[in-house]
Chains A and B, each alone.
Chain A
Amino acid sequence: MSEKIEIKKLNLFYGDFHALIDVNLGIPEKRVTSIIGPSGCGKSTLLRCLNRMNDLVEGVRVTGSIKIDNIEVCSPNTDLISLRQKVGMVFQRPNPFPLSIFENVVYGLRISGTNKRSVLEEVAEKSLSEVLLFDDLKDKLSDPALGLTLEQQQKLCIARVIAMRPEVILLDEPCSTLDPIATLKIEDLMQILKKDYSLVIVTHNMQQAARASDTTCYMLLGEMIECGETKDIFTAPKDKRTEDYISGRFG
């Protein structure tokens, strides 16, 4: 299995607070990788390093290396715009823009300067179809996106990312505001999407990691404790701390 993303000796500080400690991790291509761990262990922080969203936080310092397709992400010369087009992100709360459904999906195209109606329509249809929304929404593309259900909004956010033809999709607890049925539907969607994209999902829900991911990584207090095939992590963890966590004996 080839590695899409290679993280080496990654350290991150919020001011004086050491939030990521010597993280090493390989993320395989076209699979679902889940990151689990207790609240505050640095899962979101790690995820946000991959598309450099932590740059928006004041006082952040990062050392170490992240390579995507062997290209360094952490260097000051990295072109953030093309990085973020290549590495899309879906957030915890669905956050469609207060625009129409159509304009949400084609946002990425618009900001990269594509305004040709036919292209936009084609991409919108394709992206919405990929997240299984097109049939439901095809007649109301000009309706406000905020009128959709949360599940639809989250799928729309995924479609919005897909429309940019990314290679990696980061999902930070994408189901935490959804009900169990919508959660399962998003998980099904991830199984379809992994044929074309490399997915990294942060989740609090261990069943979700077990169900939906191929590789699982367990983090604790800023450190990467263990990483491996999901079935191995859940049946035969190597580290005592992982075992405690997945068997619910944590804390």
Chain B
Amino acid sequence: MKEYFEWLIENLILICGVISIVFVILIFIFLLKEGSGIFSHTSLTGFIFGKDWYPISDPPKFGILPLILGSFIVTLGAIIIAVPLGIASAVFLSEVVPRGIGDILKAIIELLAAIPSIVLGFIGIVILSPIIKNIFNLPTGLTALAGSVMLAFMALPTIVSIIEDAINSVPKSYREASYAMGATKWQTIRRVILPAASSGILAAIMLGIGRVIGETMAVLMITGNAAIIPTSFLQPVRTMTATIAAEMGEVIRGDAHYQALFGIGIVLFIITFLINLVSDLFLHKKRGKA
């Protein structure tokens, strides 16, 4: 009876694992099936490196470079903001405040992740974009920068949480050795703890990027949505995700525009897949060492 139960549980877990892998594969096949038609209209290089996204002009142009760069610049800005903040918060939580308080604060930061992105979008429109507009004296505050700031906030909980774990798993013996050499707390953090936690920090950054690049609602609301190749953080941009979300409702199923949106989906899928793969490698490296 007990053996039968074990067998059942083992196989249930196996089936769940297999199902989730099968789903990922099916999703990718579906994307390919719906999207690959675009390449009979526009070449692969013309699609990825084309500078113009005019899906409803005649003839339509399906160059997604502005969208890729739009996603890139918003993500880059978000990471530039979120990584230093994330490292600083994680160090603060794990090394500065007493254990108990740190745990409570960490739980609160993790709660940030539960705020729906559309709510952050509202905050971005109502509060953040006027601030940006006034500070930089711009015609509109709906810019890449606004998107980056909002996305940085969305990515922070993940980043802080993973970095904090990485710092906590640095063996106590490193700290002891450093203090015994006459190092101060900050020297120990900077020269020993952060380098020792570096693979965890890199993994946090990669996962943060993965989270940010796939985000749709907030960027759709606050980046201004102009499909032009971005040259600065202070201009409206349009990301890949926002394009799909904004245009999917207007296309005719099966036509070139529809296929192009799926093509964008394929590109996004591959990018996030690679990012997750790389961050996994970092996390594994870390476990291997510990």
Complex Cα spacing A91 to B179, Å: 12
Interface size class of A (residues with CB under 8 A): 20 to 34
B171, B179, B195: the one contacting A84 at CB < 8 Å is B179
Q: Contacts of A83 on B, CB cut-off 8 Å?
A: 182
Q: Contacts of A108 on B, CB cut-off 8 Å?
A: 181-182
Q: Contacts of A96 on B, CB cut-off 8 Å?
A: 177
A82 within 8 A of B: yes
Within B165-185, the residues touching A (CB, 8 Å) are 171, 173-174, 176-184
Within A110-158, the residues touching B (CB, 8 Å) are 110-112, 146, 157
B79 within 8 A of A: no
A146 and B191 contact, CB distance less than 8 A: no
Give A79-123 as 1s and 0s: 1 = Cβ < 8 Å from B's Cβ atoms.
011111100110101011111000000011011100000000000
Give A28-56 as 1s and 0s: 1 = Cβ < 8 Å from B's Cβ atoms.
00000000000000000000000101001
Which residue of chain B is the closest to A99 with respect to CB atoms?
A: B195
A81, A91, A95, A146: the one contacting B182 at CB < 8 Å is A81
Q: Contacts of A89 on B, CB cut-off 8 Å?
A: 180
B176 and A85 contact, CB distance less than 8 A: no
B81 within 8 A of A: no
User: A93-B173, A107-B191 in contact; A53/B180 too (CB < 8 A)?
Assistant: yes
A157 and B177 contact, CB distance less than 8 A: yes
Q: How far is the CB of A147 from chain B (nearest CB, A)?
A: 11
User: A97-B196, A107-B191 in contact; A82/B182 too (CB < 8 A)?
Assistant: yes
A56, A84, A146: the one contacting B181 at CB < 8 Å is A84
Which residue of chain B is the closest to A97 with respect to CB atoms?
A: B192
Which residue of chain A is the closest to B173 with respect to CB atoms?
A: A95
B181 and A107 contact, CB distance less than 8 A: yes
A56 and B179 contact, CB distance less than 8 A: yes
A164 within 8 A of B: yes
A81, A84, A95: the one contacting B174 at CB < 8 Å is A95
A residues engaging B (CB < 8 A)?
51, 53, 56, 80-85, 88-89, 91, 93, 95-99, 107-108, 110-112, 146, 157, 160-161, 164
Q: Told that A97-B191, A107-B178 touch, could you supply 14 new A-B pairs with CB distance under 8 A?
A: A81-B184, A84-B179, A84-B182, A95-B173, A95-B177, A97-B196, A107-B183, A108-B181, A108-B182, A111-B182, A111-B184, A111-B187, A161-B181, A164-B182
Can you list 13 contacts pairing A with B, beta carbon distance less than 8 Å? A53-B180, A82-B182, A84-B179, A88-B181, A95-B173, A97-B196, A98-B174, A98-B196, A107-B178, A107-B191, A157-B177, A160-B181, A164-B182
